[in-house]
Amino acid sequence: MLKTALLFFATALCEILGCYLPWLWLKRGATPLLLLPAAVALSMFVWLLTLHPAASGRVYAAYGGVYVMAALIWLRVVDGVKLSLYDWVGAGVAFCGMLIIVAGWGRA
């Protein structure tokens, strides 16, 4: 379960980075060269999702719970926005959803 959660966090980081770099270009006037590492990050995101043994729909559903938590951590660390209790509780609920889905892998 820990290996799966860590793999999902790596996947989320790649997805967020792959979307954040074009955002910097479009919204903040950064260099369009950021599209190159963004493409690499998004390619890594897709590849990492293929490393899970479950059907793709289950992987996407479980990944969503980790993505919520990773996005809020990104909001705090990169954007510098203080998270509310509601943010933390919501992330915890989403993460528990991932744990429940993954616990059922191979049992259905």
Q: What is the pTM of this model?
A: 0.86
Residue 7 confidence (pLDDT): 92
Mean pLDDT of successive 10-residue stretches along the chain, which has 108 residues: 87 96 96 98 94 85 91 95 97 93 82
The pLDDT value given to residue 4: 86
pLDDT at position 3: 86
Residue ranges of the alpha helices (H) in 33-84? 35-49, 56-77
pLDDT attached to residue 108: 63
- List the domain boundaries for the chain: 2-103
- How far apart are the C-alpha atoms of 105 and 96, rounded to whole Å? 15
- Residue 5 token pair: 């959660």
- Quick one: CA dihedral 7, 12, 18, 21, positive or negative? negative
Residues 63, 67: Cα–Cα separation, whole Å:
6
